[in-house]
Structure 1
Amino acid sequence: MAKVKYHYDPETLSYRKIERKKGRAFTFTFLILCAMFLCLIAGAIISPYFIETPHEKALKRENENLKLQYNFLSERVELAENALANVADRDENIYRIFFEANSISDAQRKAGFGGINRYKKFEGQPNSDLIKNSAKRIDILLKGIEVQSRSLDEIEKLAKDKEKLLAAIPAIQPVQNKDLTRVASGYGMRIHPILKYRKMHNGMDFTAPKGTPIYATGDGVVTKASRASGFGKVIYIDHGFGYMTKYAHLNKFNTRKGKKVKRGDIIGYVGNTGLSSGPHLHYEVHKNGKPINPVNFYHGDLSPEEYEIMLEKAAQENQSLD
C-alpha cells in the first residue's frame, strides 16, 4: 500500500493531503523501467569482462599452468646454459692451455645462428616472441653442447698423447746412483782419450763396473742393438715425439732390435767396447735428430741436491772416456 503524504501549511497551521498526479506517476514508472532496461543492456555488455564462464575459467587455469611450466623450463634451460658456460670456461682456460691446444672462440661455439630468419615460422602465433626466444636459447644450447663434445674428444686424445709423451721422454739416469763410480765427463768440448784432441762430446760418460745394468730412460722401440764404429756395442731407442737415446760401449745386450721397452727396463750392461779407455756407459739424448745435453733429463730420480752435484760435475771440461 502506497504511503499517504501530507503538506504542512504554516498560514492555517494545518496539514493538507498531497494528491499525486497521474502524469507524474506514469513518468516515474517509465524512468524506472528505462533504468532497469539500461542496466540489463550494460550487464550484457560488461559481464563478459567481469564474469567468467566455466570454459573461460578452464582456459585461464590452463594458461596459468602453461606459464608455470614455461617458467620451470626456462629455469632449467638457464641452469644448463650456466653449466655449459662453466665447462666451456674450464675447457678454454685450463684443459686447452695445459695440453697446448688451439683456442675455440665464442663465435665458433655459437656458429650457425646468423643470416636467415630461422624462426620465421613462429611469427603470427600467440606469444610468438616468447616462442622464438625459447627456440633460439635451446638451439644455442644444443650447438654449444655439440661443439663442447667435439672439444672434449680432442682433449681426450691430447691427454692420451700427453701421457705417452710423459712416458716417452728420457727422464732417469741410465745407470743407478748406487752403481756409479763417478760421472766421468759431461756434454760439450772434451779431450778424446784415444785421439788426444778436443772434439765435441755429444753425451755423458758414467763410470761403473763392467756388467752394471743399464736402464732404458723412457718408453720406446729399440731401433739398433749391434756394433758400431767407435761405439762398440751400442743400443739406439726411438721414443717417439722426436726423442732418441743412445747407449754405447756395452759389454752385452739384454734387448734386440724392434723390441718395445719401458722406462726402467734393463737393456744391457756396462762394458769397455769400441774406442773406450775404461768400463763406462756413453749416453746421448737426441731431439729431432740433434744431440742435446742429457743433464736436462734427470728429473725422474734425482733430488735437487743430487741434481746440483750432477750439473757441477757435468760442466767440468776434462778428458772424456771415449
Structure 2
Amino acid sequence: MKARVLHRLHSALERHLPEQRLFLRSDTETRFIRLKPETQLIALAGSALVVGWAIIATAVLLMDSIGSGSFREQAKREQKSYEMRLNALSAQRDARAEEAAAAQERFNAALAQISVMQSQLLASEDRRRELETGLNVVQGTLRRTMKERDAALKGEAEAIATLQGATGSAKTTDGRLTDVEGTVDFLTAALESTARERDAMADTAAAAREEAQALAFERELILDRNDQIFTQLEEALTVSVAPLDKMFRDAGLPPDQLISTVKRGYSGQGGPLTPLTFSTKGLPLDMGQNRANNILKGLERMDYYRIAAQKAPFAIPVKSAFRFTSGFGPRWGRMHNGTDFAAAYGTPIYATGDGVVIHAGRQSGYGNLVKIQHEFGIETRYAHMSAVRVKVGQRVSRGDRIGDMGSTGRSTGVHLHYEVRVGGKPVNPMTYIKAGQDVF
C-alpha cells in the first residue's frame, strides 16, 4: 500500500517535474547528474523559502527605517521644544535678576532714609528733653519769685502798721516815716521787677509747652513714617530671601548648615549690619529697635546667601548657543555621571562658581579635563576640551574662562561633558543649573 502511494506520488511529480540530467564534461570523460522529481521539488521549495525570507526581511528593514525616521523627527521636535523652554527659563532668570537688583537698590535707599530719620528722631528727643528741663527751671524760678513777692507784700503791710501806731518825738517820727517810704519804694520796685519776670517766665513757659507739643506731634509723624518704612523693608527682605532659600534647598544644601559654614569662614562684623543699641543702662529695646534688628539679621542672612551662591556652581558653563545632547543617568547600559553640552569647536567654557583648580590636563576617557574644588565639598569637572586655559592651584571666579570646547578623550563629537560631585559622589548638574535659573 505504501509503495503504491509513493509510486503515484512519483508519477504525479514526473508529469510536472520530469527527471533532468546535468552533464559534466571534461577532456577525458563525460559524467552526468540525475535530478529526480523529488530533488527538484526540494530545490524549488528551498528557493521559495529563501525568496520569501528575503521579501519579509526587506519589508522589516523598510518598516524599521520608516519608524526610525519618525522617531528622529519626534526627537527633533522634542529637542526644539526643550530649547524653547530653556530660552524661556533664561528670560525669566534675567527678569528675576533685574527685579532682585531693583529690590536691593530700593532696600539700600530705604535703609539710608531710616538712618536719617533715626538721627532726626534722636535730635528731636534731645530738644524735647532740653525744653522740659528749661520749663522746669522757669517754673521753679517763678515759684521762688512769687514767694519773694508775697514776703515783700507782708513786710510792706507790717511797715505801714508800725508807722500808723508809732509814738514819740517828731524827729523820730519823721525818720521812721522816711525809712518806711524808702522801704515801700524798694518793695514796689522789687514787685514790679518780679511781675515783669513772672510775665516773661509765663510767656516762655507757654512757648515751651507749644514747642513741646509740636515736637511730640512731629515725633508721632516720624514714628508713623518709620513704621511704613519698616513694613516695606520687611516685605522687600522676604521677597529677596525666599527665592535664595528655595534655591539652596532645591540644590540639596540645607540653608542653616550652609550659613553656619559661611560664618566659619567670614566671622567679621561691623558696618550697617551691626545690631542697634540705644540704651547704656541695659533697658529693653522698643518695638522699632527690635524690628530694625530683625531687618539687619535678615540682611546678614541674605549677605551670607550671596557669598554662598557665588561659591556654589549655580551657573551654566556655556554662554554661547548650545544644545543638550545627553543628560545625567543610565546610558547604553552604563551610568552617565554628567550633562553634555554640544556647540561649535572652540566655544568658550566658563567656571560655574568660585573655587581652586585641582586638575588641569589629560585624563583617561575625559581627554583634556579641568577639575575645580568649590566650597561645601562640591567639585565640578569639565571634560573633552580642545584647550585648557588654567593651571593647578589657580583660584578662579564664576564666569572666568577655563578652556575651549573640543572632542578629546572618549568622545563621538564636539561637546562639553560637565559633572558636579558632592563629597565625591556624582549628582545631577541640572539640579544646580535649574535652581540658579530660578533666582539669577
TM-score by length of 1: 0.50
Equivalent residue number for residue 174 of structure 1: 318
Counterpart position of 2:324: 183
Q: Give the equivalent residue in structure 1 for 2:205.
A: 63
Partner of 1:94: 236
Distance 1:199 1:95, change over 3 A: same
Cα RMSD after superposing both structures: 4.4
- Measured after TM superposition, the shift of residue 210 of structure 1 is 5.0
Q: Which runs of 5+ in 1 are unaligned?
A: 1-51, 103-107, 119-138, 192-197, 303-322
Q: 1:238 to 1:144 in 2, by over 3 A?
A: farther
Q: Relative to 1, partners in 2 of residues 1:110 and 1:59: Cα closer, same or farther, differing over 3 Å? A: same
Q: Distance in 2 between matches of 1:233 and 1:294?
A: 20
The structural deviation recorded for 1:254 is: 0.5
Task: Choose which of 354, 357, 371 in structure 2 pairs with 1:222.
Answer: 357
Please report how far the alpha carbon of residue 203 of structure 1 lies from its aligned counterpart in structure 2 after TM superposition.
1.1
Residue 206 (structure 1) aligns with: 341
SS in 1 for 2:390: coil
Contact 1:174–1:283 (8 Å) recurs in 2: no
Tell me, in whole angstroms, the C-alpha distance in 2 between the residues paired with 1:243 and 1:79.
Answer: 52
Task: Return 143-152 or 284-293, whichever deviates more.
Answer: 143-152
SS at match of 1:245: strand
1:282 aligned onto 2:406: no
Contact 1:213 1:268 in 2 (8 A): yes
Displacement of 1:154 in angstroms is 4.2
Q: Distance in 1 between matches of 2:226 and 2:361?
A: 56
List aligned pairs for 1:265-280, cutoff 5 A.
265-280=400-415
The answer to whether the 8 A contact 2:364-2:409 is kept is yes
Q: Deviations over 1:94-132 (max 9, x none)?
A: 315633599xxxxx99999xxx9x9xxxxxxxxxxxxxx
CA pair 276-217 structure 1, distance change in 2 beyond 3 A: same
Is residue 209 of structure 2 the alignment partner of residue 74 of structure 1? no
Residues 231 and 273, structure 1, Cα contact 8 Å, conserved in 2: yes
8 Å contact from structure 2 (residues 276, 292) kept in 1:
no
The structure showing larger relative contact order (alpha-carbon pairs under 8 Å, at least 6 residues apart) is 1
Contact 1:249-1:270 at 8 Å conserved across structures:
yes
Q: What is the distance in 2 between the residues matched to 1:151 and 1:267?
A: 41
Of 419, 424, 430, 1:295 maps to 430
Partner of 1:38: none
Report the Cα distance in structure 2 between the residues aligned to 1:209 and 1:62, rounded to whole angstroms.
86
- In structure 2, the gaps of 5 or more residues are 1-193, 246-254, 256-274
Asked if 2 retains the 8 angstrom alpha-carbon contact of 1:187 and 1:294, the reply is: yes
Task: Tell me how far apart the structure 1 counterparts of residues 277 and 400 of structure 2 sit (CA, whole Å).
Answer: 50
SS where residue 247 of structure 1 aligns? strand
Give secondary structure in 2 for the equivalent of 1:63.
Answer: helix
1:174 is paired with a residue whose SS is coil
What SS does structure 1 have at the residue aligned with 2:209?
helix
Counterpart mapping for 1:9-158 below 5 A: 53-96=195-238, 98-99=240-241, 147=290, 150-151=293-294, 153-158=296-301
Amino acid at match of 1:70: A
CA contact (8 A) 1:172 1:299 kept: no
- Larger Cα Rg: Structure 1 or Structure 2? 2
Q: Is the 8 A contact 1:171 1:300 kept in 2?
A: no
Q: How do 1:241-252 residues align onto structure 2 when only pairs under 5 Å count?
A: 243-252=378-387
Distance 2:297 2:393 in 1: 30
Q: Distance in 1 between matches of 2:402 and 2:277?
A: 53
2:227–2:288 Cα contact (<8 Å) kept = no
d(CA) in 1 for partners of 2:436 and 2:236?
28
Once residues 80 and 290 of structure 1 are traced to their aligned partners in structure 2, the CA distance between those partners, rounded to angstroms, is 56
How many angstroms apart in 1 are the aligned matches of 2:276 and 2:433? 42
Secondary structure of the residue aligned to 2:370 is strand
Letter in 2 for 1:269: D
Identity across aligned pairs (percent)? 32
- Does the 8 A contact of 1:214 with 1:267 survive in 2? yes
8 Å Cα contact 2:230-2:292 kept in structure 1: no
| SS of residue paired to 2:208 | helix
Distance 2:372 2:225 in 1: 46
The Cα of 1:264 is off from its aligned counterpart by 3.7
Provide the rounded CA distance (Å) in 1 between the counterparts of 2:219 and 2:198: 31
Q: Which amino acid aligns with 1:183?
A: F
1:212–1:67 distance in 2 versus 1, CA, 3 Å:
closer
Task: Say if 1:109 and 1:144, in contact at 8 Å, map to a contact too.
Answer: no
Structure 1 residues 267 and 273, CA gap change in structure 2 (3 angstroms): same
* CA–CA distance in structure 2, aligned partners of residues 274 and 53 of structure 1: 107
